[in-house]
Structure 1
Amino acid sequence: MATTSSGGSLPCGCSVFITVPDAFFIPEFVFGGLVWILVASTRVFMDNPQGWVMFVSVFCFVFTTLWFFLFISGVNQKSNVWPTLDVAYHALAAFFYLSASVALANVTIRLQNDPLNFKSYQEDIAAVVMSYVATLFYALHAVFSAIRWKSS
């Protein structure tokens, strides 16, 4: 994949699909959407923090979609503040996803010995894995966006 280190400008249009870190938008959509779907399909208990996990997954999915369309349309070319916003958003999303992943892993560990909720346990395991993968992609996006921001 090509990088955008020449001039430090942000990509727009179809070049979003071939530049690092912007190519991470697609896996962020996929894994974030999978977290959303898997958590929404599990059974929620009273002391369960899955509401936070749902908030994080929906928030990040909606704002990543908005961010992606702003990059595709070229709105990010009109100001010098966009590289800073890109780093800030993806760092915040990585932090949110990490906190949601830890909470979801805690819930999953508590469901481990409950034979009545084995299906929820299996769905939570998958959601935990997808949540940590989404965290990884948001963190990588933040790091590579910071590198691009510092080089501009």
Structure 2
Amino acid sequence: MASSTSCDVLPTGCRIFTTVPDIFFLPEFVFGGLVWILIASTEILQPNPLGWVMFVSVFCFVGTSLWFFIFLCGGNQSSIWPGLDVCFHFVAVVFYLSASVILAYITILHASVSGLSSQLLKIYRLEISAVVMSHVATLLYFVHTIFSAIRWKRS
């Protein structure tokens, strides 16, 4: 008895803009890019782990860009791609979660400085924005991971 399974498990071309897990590519670009921009625009006052946050935001932005273009060009039609999709987004969730926690901690430390000058207040506000954007990016990657895992299970 022949199996009638479809090899076309993952969407290609413009169909990635209409499928549930892949529609999160664009918000991941936006919020990941905002984290990158906001962290790049702050001033490092003392040695702190903002380098890790910058690495995560750049790594996930570039990785999501490559992933998006592979999906857009249709290079994702092998049977291994659904599993790789879940793995990539899970790694992005773990990275962004760690970066978000570190960024929130550094922001709390900067808030404890008494008598913030106007320059320090500007940096503090940029860091608060980066914390919010990194938590939103973490949530987007998490939701994308869940839906990608559901799609992988069905394939």
Report SS of the residue matched to 1:76: coil
Segments of structure 2 that go 5 or more residues without pairing to the other structure are: none
Q: How does 1:1-152 map to 2 (within 5 A)?
A: 9-77=9-77, 79-114=78-113, 115-116=116-117, 117-152=120-155
Segments of structure 1 that go 5 or more residues without pairing to the other structure are: 1-5
Q: CA deviation at 1:48?
A: 1.4
In structure 2, distance between residues paired with 1:147 and 1:134: 20
Whose Rg is larger?
2
Counterpart of 1:32 in structure 2: which amino acid? G
Counterpart of 1:110 in structure 2: which amino acid? L
Q: Deviations over 1:52-103 (max 9, x none)?
A: 00000000000100000000000001x1000000000000001100000000
Q: Identity over the aligned pairs, expressed in percent? A: 62
TM-score, L = length of structure 1:
0.93
Instruction: Extract structure 1 runs of 4+ deviating beyond 6 A.
Output: none
Counterpart of 1:54 in structure 2: which amino acid? M
Q: Deviations over 1:36-59 (max 9, x none)?
A: 000000111333111000000000
Counterpart of 1:133 in structure 2: which amino acid? V
TM-score, L = length of structure 2:
0.91
Q: C-alpha root-mean-square deviation of aligned residues, in Å?
A: 1.3
